[in-house]
């Protein structure tokens, strides 16, 4: 049998062979197989080595196999082998030697190899392991999150008749909890002859981590009845459960209990309380707990900063960040991730650059979480090239990183590149999720890539087993609507496997407004009224349809409805950051200290662009633009902010603006010409998407504005193909 075996095969190939079981029946063959594998020298009996050397030499001479090159082992592996051989020579039992090898492998975090050796011991059948080896195997299973490994190790413990002490019981429980085998963990927990604070903490913590907060509280109350002198760490865990349930009263009672037990200064409890109060809406209580911490740790600072950011207090969060820096507290990658997200909300490029520099300076330049936040920031503020550079420099990327960049290219009107990134993501083995498909479908929607959109939409469930959601249907409805295929868009809503959502009807209503389909638009608006009777944009959208169709009586009725319901359109505002200071403008605003210079610049710009054919467009309300604003189109907030930016910066500086509403067609056309005559790049983030104006064009491609022209040109080109005639551009 030995001569027929290809002993040069790797261990995993031998396992897959039908001869593997027979191979393991001879312990001498097993021992020499381990020696000849070149990985570990467990056995040093020369007679076996000589026999196998002769066999290999004979096979090599006859041309059956080539001599296997011997790789020089690393210094760590040499030390590993020497120590293991020493143990084997002392003990004399091969099983004991493999047990020692398992423990050494686990110590060096080589968990896969440790479990492979454990499988060899299982095959011998009668090997006894001691507690230290089982403890090492538990560590390997936790490190790999291996459910199969957990079952094998636990079954071996039971079948070997090992009597578990309290420590090993807790380790077995933790192994099941960490691998999210909560049903088995609960059975083990109930079988434990004795439970200490570690047992309770492990079981309750596992339930909280999985979001089963009610069951966690049930167990906590059971523990409280058995022993009211609870470990402080379980209080921190249960405070986390309170924040998960968003029930502040539970957290307050736990806070009170912790104070009565003299644990008010415990840093773990304090950090949990800050997080709980923040998530439950009481930032004042969170600040109170933070102020009373005797030692403000990095986690404490991160938690209070995140709490302020969660409630929209971005300026306060940024101030706390600088306080943390000035206090000399060590920052980690979570600190920088939070601050970068705060800068994203504040549209503060300079503060974000400083955070980026700090991230690199503190040694977190390759951190996946912080770098993904940077990618998101640069994308949201129009710096797509910087985002791409950060992304390409990441040694590891997760699905969130890919989603951020794909969505960014889509929002910037670069749909082809977004689709190419999606294809590259799949090619590199990263499995897309529903957010990925939303990002790439939105990119197709923004860029009018209907063919790509349909192909990707159909591949979701077919190739990737991702069930399309309402948000994906809304993208496809808008994509169809942009092409004027309103009947097909309505059919997609009608045939959806779930009840149509607000976004789906809103996408259809928008398409009806653009293509002036009065009947279908009215039907979609009525559906929206029933779902969102108080949402202003639905009424404004229908008002535009009535005005465009000449239905003045119906338009007047909509206006009366708005007045009766007390709905009023908020004025649009635009802000721009100059030298780290934000400046906010409303339409017709005259509150700025440089109002005179700003208005003079606006008049100058309007005069210049009128030479290139610019005229004020007709009256069309956007879903969220005040009618009063339409009466002064020359002094819209966008134009005021751009004029201020032009007079406040050098001629080579690009302008970054944020617009609270959707940019109107009038300003959109004007800004294209302003960018051309001033030779500036102007990036505006409005309520819908990004607009990058440069050299008289916009990254959005004026898709909605020029839809009829595009469709007309497409029809002419089809006609050209039939008649063979040249069609004018």
Q: What is the pLDDT of residues 712-723, one digit of tens each?
A: 444 444 444 554
Burial class (CB in 10 A: 0-12, 13-18, 19+), 492: buried
User: Residue for token digits 């029809």?
Assistant: 715
Q: Cβ atoms within 10 A of the Cβ of 282, count?
A: 17
Selected residue with higher pLDDT from 375 and 23: 375
Q: Containing H/E element for 577?
A: strand 573-578
- pLDDT for res 96: 60
- pLDDT of amino acid 364: 80
* Beta-carbon contacts of residue 414 (< 8 Å; ≥ 6 apart): 384, 443, 447, 699
* 95, 159, 312 from 79: Cα distances, Å: 20, 34, 56
Give the chain's mean pLDDT: 78
Separation between Cα atoms, residue 239 and residue 255, nearest integer Å: 8
Q: Does the pLDDT at position 19 exceed 80?
A: no
Structure confidence by residue, pLDDT tens digits, 316-336: 998 999 999 999 999 888 898
- In Å, how far from its chain's centre is CA 596? 46
Among 195-209, 262-276, 406-420, 580-594, the least confident range: 580-594
**Residue where the block lists tokens 């129009």:** 382
Backbone angles phi, psi at 577, to 5 degrees: -100, 125
Q: How many CB atoms lie within 10 A of CB 587?
A: 24
Average pLDDT of span 270-280: 93
137: pLDDT strictly greater than 80 = yes
Q: Which two tokens stand for residue 386?
A: 């910087």
Q: Which of 362, 359, 361, 395 is nearest to 377 (CA)?
A: 359
Q: For residues 365 and 36, which has the higher predicted lDDT (pLDDT)?
A: 365
pLDDT higher than 60, residue 525: yes
Interacting residues of 10 by C-beta distance below 8 A, sequence separation 6+: 37
According to the 3-state scheme, what is the secondary structure of 177-203?
Answer: HHCCCHHHHHHHHHHCCCCCHHHHHHH
The residue among 646 and 709 whose pLDDT is bigger is 646
Q: What is the mean pLDDT of residues 662-667?
A: 81
Q: How many residues would you count in the chain?
A: 729
What is the residue extent of each domain of the chain?
96-194, 296-395, 520-565, 573-713
Percent of the chain's residues with pLDDT above 90 = 33
Comparing CA positions, the residue from 90, 106, 93 lying closest to residue 31 is 93
Beta carbons of 407 and 443 less than 8 angstroms apart: yes
What's the chain's Rg over C-alpha atoms?
A: 34
d(CA 332, CA 298): 8
Q: Any idea what DSSP says for residue 550?
A: T
User: Is residue 75 over pLDDT 80?
Assistant: no
State the alpha helices, DSSP H only, in 414-517: 415-427, 434-447, 450-463, 470-482, 486-494, 502-515
As a whole number, mean pLDDT of residues 56-70 equals: 40
Contact (Cβ atoms closer than 8 angstroms) between residue 467 and residue 460: yes
Q: What six digits make up the tokens of 397? A: 């990327």
Give pLDDT, residue 424: 95
Between CA 437 and CA 460 the distance in angstroms is 8
pLDDT tens-digit readout, 625-647: 444 444 466 788 889 999 999 99
Say which range, 344-358, 383-397, 449-463, has the weakest mean pLDDT. Answer: 344-358
Q: Please say if the pLDDT value at position 93 is more than 60.
A: no
The answer to whether the beta carbons of residues 305 and 317 sit under 8 Å apart is yes
Q: In this predicted model, what pLDDT tens digit does every residue of 225-273 receive, in sequence order?
A: 877 666 788 889 999 999 999 889 999 999 998 888 888 888 899 999 9
C-beta pairs of 397-402 under 8 Å, 24+ apart in sequence: 397/368, 397/430, 398/368, 398/372, 398/430, 399/430, 399/431, 399/432, 399/433, 399/435, 399/436, 400/372, 400/435, 401/368, 401/371, 401/372, 401/375, 402/430, 402/432, 402/436
Residues 6+ apart with CB under 8 A from 472: 434, 437, 438, 441, 457, 460
Q: Which CATH number fits domain 96-194: 1.25.40.10, 3.20.20.80, 1.10.260.40, 3.40.50.300?
A: 1.25.40.10
């Amino acid at each position: 049998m030995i001569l027929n075996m290809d002993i040069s095969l790797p261990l995993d190939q031998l396992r897959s062979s039908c001869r593997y079981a027979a191979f393991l029946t001879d312990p001498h063959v097993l021992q020499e197989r381990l020696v000849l594998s070149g990985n570990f020298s467990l056995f040093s009996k020369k007679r076996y080595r000589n026999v196998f050397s002769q066999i290999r030499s004979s096979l090599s001479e006859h041309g059956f196999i080539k001599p296997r090159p011997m790789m020089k082992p690393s210094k760590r592996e040499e030390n590993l082998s020497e120590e293991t051989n020493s143990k084997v020579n002392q003990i004399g039992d091969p099983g004991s030697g493999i047990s020692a090898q398992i423990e050494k492998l686990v110590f060096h975090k080589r968990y896969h190899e440790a479990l492979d050796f454990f499988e060899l011991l299982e095959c011998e059948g009668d090997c006894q392991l001691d507690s230290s080896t089982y403890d090492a195997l538990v560590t390997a299973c936790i490190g790999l999150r291996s459910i199969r490994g957990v079952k094998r190790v636990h079954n071996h413990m039971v079948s070997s008749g090992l009597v578990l002490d309290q420590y090993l019981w807790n380790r077995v429980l933790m192994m099941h909890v960490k691998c999210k085998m909560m049903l088995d963990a609960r059975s083990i927990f109930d079988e434990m002859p004795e439970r200490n604070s570690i047992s309770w903490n492990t079981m309750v913590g596992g339930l909280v981590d999985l979001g089963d907060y009610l069951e966690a509280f049930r167990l906590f109350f059971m523990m409280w009845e058995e022993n009211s002198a609870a470990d402080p760490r379980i209080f921190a865990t249960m405070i986390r459960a309170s924040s998960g349930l968003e029930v502040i009263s539970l957290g307050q009672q736990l806070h009170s209990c912790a104070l009565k037990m003299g644990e008010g200064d415990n840093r773990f409890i304090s950090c949990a309380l800050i997080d709980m109060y923040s998530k439950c809406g009481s930032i004042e209580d969170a600040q109170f707990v933070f102020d009373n911490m005797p030692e403000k740790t990095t986690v404490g600072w991160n938690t209070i900063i995140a709490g302020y950011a969660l409630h929209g207090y971005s300026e306060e969060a940024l101030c706390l960040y600088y306080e943390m820096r000035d206090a000399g507290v060590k920052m980690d990658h979570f600190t920088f991730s939070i601050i970068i997200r705060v800068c994203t909300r504040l549209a503060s490029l300079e503060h974000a650059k400083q955070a980026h520099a700090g991230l690199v300076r503190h040694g977190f330049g390759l951190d996946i979480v912080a770098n993904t936040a940077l990618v998101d920031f640069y994308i949201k503020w129009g710096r797509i090239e910087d985002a791409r550079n950060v992304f390409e420099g990441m040694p590891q990327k997760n699905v969130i990183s890919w989603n951020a960049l794909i969505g960014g290219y889509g929002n910037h009107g670069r749909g082809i590149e977004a689709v190419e990134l999606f294809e590259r993501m799949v090619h590199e083995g990263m499995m897309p999720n529903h957010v990925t498909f939303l990002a790439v479908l939105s990119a197709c929607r923004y860029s009018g890539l209907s063919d790509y959109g349909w192909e990707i939409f159909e591949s979701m469930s077919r190739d990737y087993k991702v069930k399309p959601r309402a948000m994906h249907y809304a993208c496809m409805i808008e994509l169809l609507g942009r092409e004027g295929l309103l009947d097909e868009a309505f059919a997609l809503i009608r045939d959806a496997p779930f009840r149509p959502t607000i976004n789906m009807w809103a996408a259809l209503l928008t398409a009806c407004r653009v293509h002036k389909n009065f009947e279908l638009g009215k039907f979609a608006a009525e559906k929206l009224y029933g779902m969102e009777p108080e949402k202003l944009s639905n009424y404004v959208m229908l008002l535009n349809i009535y005005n465009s169709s000449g239905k003045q009586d119906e338009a007047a009725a909509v206006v009366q409805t708005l007045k009766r319901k007390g709905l009023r359109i908020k004025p649009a505002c635009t802000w721009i950051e100059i030298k780290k200071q934000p400046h906010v403008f409303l339409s017709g605003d005259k509150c700025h200290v440089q109002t005179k210079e700003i208005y003079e610049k606006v008049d100058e710009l309007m005069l210049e662009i009128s030479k290139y054919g610019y005229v004020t467009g007709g009256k069309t309300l956007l879903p969220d633009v005040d009618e009063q604003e339409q009466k002064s189109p020359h002094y819209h907030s966008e134009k005021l902010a751009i004029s201020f930016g032009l007079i406040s910066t050098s001629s080579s500086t690009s302008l970054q603006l944020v617009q609270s509403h959707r940019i109107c067609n009038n300003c959109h056309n004007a800004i294209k010409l302003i960018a051309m005559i001033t030779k500036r790049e102007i990036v505006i983030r409005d309520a819908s998407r990004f607009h990058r104006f440069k050299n008289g064009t916009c990254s959005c491609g004026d898709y909605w504005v020029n839809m009829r022209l595009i469709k007309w040109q497409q029809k002419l080109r089809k006609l050209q193909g039939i008649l063979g005639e040249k069609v004018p551009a």
